[in-house]
Structure 1
């Protein structure tokens, strides 16, 4: 949807075909649902990833994350990065920054709701260089 929306002021035939394909998918997915289960824990766990220089027009990377609270999916986001990353490690590190910001927001919300003061937070990333950068206190 985000790619198609870039062309909404001057759509071409290919753009409209993509919109119709998206609408057909949404129509077929009406019976799909997210299931929320009651769990004994309120741990916060996130997963983040990015694809380096994926946009052919401006070489920007896309970042994404999804966050689980108590084992239930509560937040997700996919966004084009605002700057051009010079490496996969930088692109992944920027994705981690977005994920950590969301984890901290959800943690503060849980504290405000007095649900769990000691909720553990974990962020999972698959890039060793970005993890090393994040673990470096300097």
Structure 2
């Protein structure tokens, strides 16, 4: 899998969804293995968590575009080998949490995705990305549900 390193994991203008007119990939196990390995990497590389979460949603019937986006994440990892989590011993012990949501990001279900990260001092120790349970009628409602 040769390719140039990428400065971003996924181009945010790419919208992933099932296109019923396009064929599925011949061997879905290749896609599933790759996405499974990327899931494991999210333990130390939370910067790819959102994109890997999105790719996991297509594990049942992946198409070529989904596999190409997964390869783009690998190219990003290749270009950012020195990045990862760092836990400093002389950090303050103040708990900070941040959350956000994107409104109707899933084109198939029209549901929003919420994200949350928690810091103890400057060290990230927990994060989560989840598709919301119900469809939000506005971006404000989506943000409220994320809280």
Instruction: Give the TM-score, by structure 1 length.
Output: 0.60
| 1:21-60 → structure 2 map (5 Å cutoff) | 21-39=72-90, 41-60=92-111
Deviation for aligned residue 1:45: 0.7
Return the alpha-carbon distance in structure 1 between the equivalents of residues 135 and 113 of structure 2: 10
What are the ranges of 5 or more consecutive residues in structure 1 without an aligned counterpart? Answer: 97-138
Distance of 1:36 and 1:78 partners within structure 2: 22
SS of equivalent residue, structure 2 residue 68: helix
Runs (4 or more) in structure 1 with deviation over 4 Å come to none
What secondary structure does 1:18 align onto? helix
* Structure (1/2) with the larger strand percentage: 1
- State the alpha-carbon separation in 1 of the partners of residues 70 and 123 from structure 2: 30
**Secondary structure in 2 aligned to 1:57?**
coil
CA RMSD in angstroms comes to: 1.8
Pairs within 5 Å for 1:1-138: 1-39=52-90, 41-96=92-147
TM-score, structure 2 normalization: 0.57
Question: Any stretches of 5+ residues in structure 2 without a counterpart?
Answer: 1-51
More helix by share: 1
Aligned residues: 96
Q: How far off its partner does 1:12 sit?
A: 2.2
Task: Work out which of the two has the higher radius of gyration on C-alpha atoms and give 1 or 2.
Answer: 1
Tell me the secondary structure at the aligned position of residue 100 of structure 2: strand
State whether residues 42 and 69 of structure 1, in contact with CA within 8 Å, keep that contact through their aligned partners in structure 2: yes
